[in-house]
Structures are given as structure tokens and as C-alpha cells.
A and B are shown apart, each in its own frame.
Chain A
Amino acid sequence: MSQPALQTNASPETAKNGRKTGAEETLGYKLKSVAGAVMYPVATFTLLFTLWELAVRLLDVKAIILPAPTYIFEELFGSFSFYIPHIKITFYEAIMGFLLGTTLALIGGILMSQSRLLERMMLPVAIVANVTPIVVIAPLFMIWFGFGSYPKILISAICTFFPMLINSIVGFRSVDENNYEYMRSLHASKTEIFIKLRFPNSLPFLFAAARTCMSMSVIGAVVGEMYGSTKGLGNVVVTSANYLEIDRMFSAIFLLAAMGILMTNAVRLIERRVLKWHGSER
């Protein structure tokens, strides 16, 4: 029996093991692509810093108003060992807050996507939590939970919670109609439908939220550290601001920015692997 031939753009070579073969797998290619990816942001930031430096010098801007990047880097690299314990603490608080917030959001998402009643009851509470400025909550948490990392992790979790919750509800609900019917035709149970269909379907939504939530969790940790902390980059920012140690303040801010960027990119790397099947990944 002859098989009718169909013209497509997919070829057995590219689809053989789902990956590209040949020249594209060599180490040289991989190194070049990493370099290519890193190069542009590095160049952009370097350009930005150069313009900043020029502006400060040409316009004679005082350090107390806006310090020059060279002044900041002098302090940052000169006393780098000072920052290390602070970086560790803030990073720890942000990551734990992210994990806690994400876990709670997923649980909330599972419950709310299964029951409209639960959604109607719980969502307004979540919205209130989201809208309340964390700057107001932070001192309260310090009083309730003390000076350790715990209140900071909670605040960081609160910042993560809402975007992740919304995205998980949408992700769990917006399954393809045909896929859903197919599962029903096999008499799949609700649990099976959730595990095999709804949850994998939600992953692109969850990762999209994760990228934002990573930055939010860092912000949350920083705000938390403004009250009741002895260590952490947020603490450094506030203390140095009060001491008018502008170079130290900006160094801490730069470190926070770098932390946010690295964490977000880490999410993207994981996303690329986990979502390699997804159409949006280019």
C-alpha cells in the first residue's frame, strides 16, 4: 500500500529526537550563542553607565544628588566583602518568599479553579491583600513576627502571591475544549483531568507570572528589611541613606538590580527547557 505523501515544513531530521542535529549542536555554536545573548545587555548597560558618567561630570552633579557610576563601583568593588552577607540574606528571603508565595498561589488556584463558589469567596480577600501597600504592612509584621527572616519572607510571599494566583487560575481554566472533551471521552476523573491536562496547560502562564514574581519577591524582601532587620541589602539601603552614604546606597541598589536580573534570567532558562514544546518559545 502506498502512503500518500504530504508536503510539510517539518522534516524527519529536525524532528528525529525533537532537537536540532548537525552543526547546531556543537560546543562552538553554544558558546557563541551564550556570548551573543550576554553581549547585548552588557553593551547596553556599559553605554548607559558611560552616558551617566558623562552627564554627572559635564553637568557637575554633586555626589549627594546623583553619584557617578565610577564612584559607585569604586565603593562596590572596593568593599565587596561587606556586601556578601547582605546579599545572601536578601537572596534567601526573596527565594523563600517566592517559593512560599508560589505554593500558596498554586493551592489557591487549584481550589478556585475547581469551584466558582470558592473563587467568589476567596478572590476579594486576595485582592485586598494585593492592594494594601506593603510599606504599611512591614512594620506590623515586625511587631507580630519579630526581627528574623520570617516576616521578610512573608512579605516577599505576599508580593509573589497575587500575580501567580491569577495566572494559575487562568491557566487551569483555559484548557482547549477539544482536549477536555477527549479526556471525558476516556471517562477521565476530575483529578486525572487536572494532573494530565489542566496542570501542564497552566505552565506557560505560571512561568510568565514567575518572571514578574521573581522581581516582586526581591522588592518584598527589601521592603521587609526596612523594619526590624540587622542585615540585608534593604537594610543597607535605608541605613546608608540615613547616613548620607550615597555611594553605599547606590551600590546596594545596583546589587539588588543585578539580583533581580539574574533571578529573572534563571527563570527564563528553566522556562526554555520546561516549555520547549510551547509555541511561544523562540
Chain B
Amino acid sequence: MSYISIKNVSKQFVRRGQLTQALSHIDLEIEEGSFVSFIGPSGCGKSTLLRIIGGLTEIDEGEVRIGNRTPLEMQAAKQFGFVPQAPALFPWRTVLENMKLPFEVNRKNKINIKDQEPHLIELLKSVGLGDFQHAYPKELSGGMKQRVGIARAFATDAPILLMDEPFSALDEITRELLMLQLMQIWEQHKKTVIFVTHSLQEAVYLSDKVVVMTSRPGKISTIIDIGLPRKREESIIGTDDFRHYVSKVRQALRERWE
């Protein structure tokens, strides 16, 4: 069901009267339950590609299938957990109420939301925010809010998680900690994750595959398999293997400039 197939996809944007080729003839296959990062310079189309998968952006050319359904069909079936760059928490809802939001919208089966509470509280605990259920977003720091966003992505048990640079607005220490926490939760629930990032370290640590993209026009330059063992312990950062993959990705990114 989460087997994502992207064939010959192109997308153009008109910005200020100018035509930009955001994506040009993209071909990509993503296996179910894998953690895939998109990395590349600004304007390479990685965020656009993520949104295309999630049915948030239309394509001009090509075909995208998830299982045998289109992105919009998957979206209508609430198969996505979306974590945007800045935490999409509604300020007028408490943390717990924000966690309930995906259940309230586009209600499929008559789920009793109240029954979900213990599960949601468990998720909050797993990101270290169990005591903050009744806090309002204004009482939380940026990192805490993003942790809620990540916990929320797992709330409805959606098979595909789409994360668009979720840590980029945070400071480095928080980024590292959240990166580790994300890995811990993912180990528990094993979803298909599309993860857009600028950070080589994140891409290597988190992913099974790193898709390196280039810009103008947006294309995939290489796909690098990360052969590091699952599960990824913190200690793996800094090992020779790890650094090997990091330089592989760096190399692929630099190729464009040669």
C-alpha cells in the first residue's frame, strides 16, 4: 500500500511572470516502510516533490501512484502524516487538543475521539512531553512544538509520513536531540517516511536511502543507499562508516558544481 511510484514527473511554476522548471522528468521508487531523505540545494524541488506525493501540489506531466491509488485518493483516505517546516499547531488548542485534530478532520469511520486519548498521551510521552498535554502552544519552545508535530504525525497511524525540513527552524542541539527522538519513535512504528532536509548528518543517520537532487531544472542526480545497520544507535554518529556515507552524499551534492 505504501509502495510509492513516481514516473516521469514534471512540474512548472510561474513566478513573477517567469517560468521555473521546478521538477523535470523525475523517476523514483520508494519501498514500503523505508525512510527516504530528499536532499539538495535550495530550489531543487525537494519540497515540491514531497508535496506532490502528498497530493498538495498537482503535476504537469507524468504519473504518481501509491499502491494503485493517486496521491489525492490517499489524501482523502487520510493516509498521510504531514509535518511542515514550522510547527503547524493551532494556538487556540492545547497540546492534547492539537493531537486530536487529525481525528476531527475529514472523519472516516465514526471513531470515538475520546477513546484515542490514552494512545495520544503515550505518543506525547514518547517525545518527552507527557506533562504538557494541557499546555497551550504559546507556552512551548520551538523544539517542543515540533516534537508535538512529530508525535501528531504518528497519531492516526497513517502509513506515510511527509516531513518537510522539520528541524530547520531549530538550534543545532535541539536538532540533534529531535533527530534521535524521531528515530526512536520510527523504530517503534515503522512508517514510510519522506524526509526533506538540508543536513547531511540527518539524511545519513535517519535514512535507508538518500535522494540527492539538483536545481535548475529540478532533477535527481543520485540515489545513495545507506548501508548502516538498523537500529541506528546514537553512537553510530562519528564512526568511519557513518563518515563514509556523509562524504558520499557530500560528493554527490558537489558534483553539480563541477
Contact = CB atoms under 8 A, between A and B. Distances in A.
A and B: direct contact (Cβ < 8 Å)? Answer: yes
Contacts of B106: 186-189, 192
B40 interface: no
Most chain B beta-carbon contacts within 10 A, residue among A6, A181, A183, A279: A6
B202 to A, nearest CB: 15
Contacts of A184: 56, 75
Contacts of B105: 183, 186-188, 192, 196
Contacts of B93: 277
A183 B107 CA distance: 13
A9 B90 contact: no
Contact of A179 (B56, B88, B128, B131): B88
Contact of B85 (A10, A12, A178, A192): A178
B61 to A, nearest CB: 22
A17 interface: yes
A113 to B, nearest CB: 18
A182 B84 contact: yes
Contacts of A187: 55, 72, 75-78, 105-106
A81 interface: no
Contacts, number: 109
Contact of A10 (B89, B101, B139): B139
Given A3-B128, A186-B102, A186-B105, A181 B141 contact: no
B54 interface: yes
A179 B92 CA distance: 12
Interface stretch (B174-182, B203-211, B222-230, B248-256): B174-182
Interface residues of B, number: 45
Contact of B75 (A185, A197, A276, A278): A185
Contact of B132 (A1, A3, A15): A15
Contacts of A9: 141
B82 A185 contact: yes
Interface residues of A, number: 36
Given A4-B180, A14-B139, A181 B132 contact: no
B13 to A, nearest CB: 16
B143 A6 contact: yes
Given A17-B134, A185-B75, A185-B162, A10 B90 contact: no
A10 B87 contact: no
A277 B137 contact: yes
B88 A18 contact: no
Contact of A18 (B56, B91, B134): B134
Contact of B92 (A16, A178, A181, A277): A277
A200 B93 CA distance: 10
Contacts of B143: 6, 8
Interface of B: 54-56, 72, 75-78, 80, 82, 84-94, 101-102, 104-106, 128, 131-132, 134-141, 143-144, 162, 174, 177, 180-181, 184
17 contacts: A8-B140, A8-B141, A10-B132, A10-B139, A16-B131, A178-B88, A179-B90, A181-B56, A182-B88, A184-B75, A185-B80, A186-B82, A186-B102, A196-B90, A196-B101, A196-B104, A277-B137
Interface of A: 1, 3-6, 8-10, 12, 14-18, 176, 178-179, 181-189, 192, 196-197, 200-201, 203, 276-279
